[in-house]
Amino acid sequence: MTAVKDKGMIASFSKKGTPSNNACIEAFWSNFKRETINLIRKKDLSFDKVKEIITSYIHFYNYEREMQVLDGMAPLEYKNYYQKNPDLKPFIIKPQRKKMRRYYQ
């Protein structure tokens, strides 16, 4: 935790056993593991390899990964689209508890 504070950041944690408190990041890490780490043999994962995978995936996720919830756009494409078209109102993503519950069961 000291390293986090040294960088001027604040650590935030959800209560244990409550993934719905932070569903967006839980979904991100679930997708990340399914699309990267789980496809590689564990013995082939060095610290440097994991660091490289994380860096590449975050770039891919933000710039290339099309998302149905963002109207088929990547996150930065979605953001830029609505910044260039201020007359359009971006839709708000509202959690759907039924679907979320089904996902975590």
CA 38 vs CA 31, 72, 89: distances in Å: 10, 25, 38
Residue in 97, 91, 94 with CA at minimum distance from that of residue 72: 91
| H helices, E strands: number in the chain | 5, 0
Residue 68 makes CB contacts below 8 A (sequence gap 6+) with: none
From first to last of its 105 residues, what are the pLDDT tens digits of the chain?
678 888 888 877 777 877 777 888 888 889 899 989 888 888 888 999 889 999 999 999 989 898 888 888 898 998 898 888 888 776 665 554 444 443 333
Q: What is the pTM assigned to this prediction?
A: 0.61
Q: What pLDDT shows up at residue 55? A: 92
